[in-house]
Structure 1
């Protein structure tokens, strides 16, 4: 079977090795006579999967013991509400750095919960860069500072992060978690929908400093309180068992690749391959993001005209490439090159881009 040249922004490519192992267990997992999605979430067989996923994530990201690892449903979009519901107290303000559409949506949800402040923004420049921001300027009543570490639509990414010495730092890492080395201690809460680098859609990972759990009010709805998940190992109700199983397989695969440093090196190489084509095209391909803010996960670009972009995407589709159209809100072109996208697929795309330029 020929695998598609999959550059979808999410749900995104999964490692072939993971899909093959999952396929083998769809009918009979661990000699139970049942598929993994048929097992009780209270069974010892599923418990082993659940615990392995948490352990592998802790290992790969070097998550300290004073952090909880939670598995929640609802995607990152639900976290736009859960974060302020749990962390934003009376007399406080939540500060948001706007670097793309998702951070803007997170702000709008927080506005419904309490007071918010736009700490910095690049919106008026069409989100072409990560706005400069110093957390030293944040006031004492700030509940937290929220950032989106990578912006799938506009193709920008934080290279360094604000210091959180005074104010808790919250990061939506849905599209670049597990793609590079970082110090979890820099953050107080990290959340990420799984469907980019972690696995399939259906499960959201939340990594939260334990002391922050004290902020959550008992008056919150049960399923919107982080303590519900922390107190029951994310097993208060039926979790998305199949998604968590696939998450555990992706984490096992990432560990076999050599961990985050090796994955980061590969991702840097893949991104350079495409950005070199853009930079050396003499303006034929026009990158959206400023060079110092470019994402290693989502390479966004345009061509000279809408008609030429349309022709590029049509010929790319005919050549077997999938998912190269830009987000519906801005158009253009986008290649999402998450962890599971093979280097060979990126090289094929680079060759196609070069050939298309030469013909046009």
Structure 2
């Protein structure tokens, strides 16, 4: 049976999920206090495996948050000093830009669904660049090649990439 979960999504729910939840419950993981040594050890193991599987450099910090919206708020309030530049071609990226504009200065760069990310069109006053990697509203995707070019051309700037629907697959 194929079951789709549309939060966040759409995504297919792995068929063994009930077994994993049951195992976690029986092992007591779901009742571990978030300040306990056991939880801290589990957190460190999780970060170690994420670094290994996703090739995250050792000097990068990994933070776990509850939603994309919370992430947008953290980026706008804690990482943006001058302005954030938002590149978008669909509803999700546009929503991020709109949300950030209520909290900080934003520069919006819309590009068409059949166009590549305009990496050469970077505002000088933006210190944070924001991109939605997978735009589920129109089934488009910013290529890894474009993201790499964005990094090469913008040394020293923070690049925030929303990978809500692409992290596990790319």
TM-score range, shorter chain: 0.7 to 0.9
**Which of 133, 156, 164 is residue 149 of structure 1 equivalent to?**
133
The answer for the alignment partner of 1:174 in structure 2 is 164
Cα gap change, 1:23 to 1:10, in 2 (>3 Å)? same
The answer for the alignment partner of 1:158 in structure 2 is 142
Between structure 1 and structure 2, the one with the greater Rg is 1
How many residue pairs match? The answer is 162
Q: After the TM superposition, which residues 10-21 of structure 1 pair with which residues of structure 2 at under 5 Å, given as runs?
A: 10-11=7-8, 12-21=11-20
Q: Deviations over 1:314-348 (max 9, x none)?
A: xxxxxxxxxxxxxxxxxxxxxxxxxxxxxxxxxxx
The answer for the alignment partner of 1:48 in structure 2 is 41
**Which of 97, 104, 107 is residue 87 of structure 2 equivalent to?**
97
**Which of 57, 60, 78 is residue 53 of structure 2 equivalent to?**
60
* Aligned residues: CA RMSD: 2.1
3-state DSSP class of the match of 1:132?
A: coil
Q: Deviations over 1:139-185 (max 9, x none)?
A: 321112111000122211112324223233210000000212xxxxx
**Which of 99, 108, 114 is residue 109 of structure 1 equivalent to?**
99
Using CA pairs below 8 Å that are at least 6 residues apart, which structure has the higher relative contact order? Answer: 1
Give the deviation of 1:115 after TM superposition.
Answer: 1.8
Q: Deviations over 1:108-139 (max 9, x none)?
A: 111112221122333xxxxxx25434333313
**Which of 70, 84, 103 is residue 76 of structure 2 equivalent to?**
84
Contact 1:147–1:170 (CA<8 Å) still a contact in 2? yes
Structure 1 ranges of 4+ moved more than 6 A? none
Q: Deviations over 1:291-318 (max 9, x none)?
A: xxxxxxxxxxxxxxxxxxxxxxxxxxxx
1: distance between equivalents of 2:124 and 2:4? 43
Q: Deviations over 1:39-80 (max 9, x none)?
A: 21233332232222111111111100120001122x001222
Runs (5+) with no aligned partner, structure 2? none
Contact 2:24–2:30 (CA<8 Å) still a contact in 1? no
Contact 1:76–1:172 (CA<8 Å) still a contact in 2? yes
2: distance between equivalents of 1:16 and 1:7? 11
TM-score (norm 2): 0.82
The answer for the alignment partner of 2:6 in structure 1 is 9
TM-score (norm 1): 0.42
3-state DSSP class of the match of 1:96?
A: strand
Contact 1:95–1:118 (CA<8 Å) still a contact in 2? yes
Contact 1:130–1:157 (CA<8 Å) still a contact in 2? no
Cα gap change, 1:19 to 1:52, in 2 (>3 Å)? farther
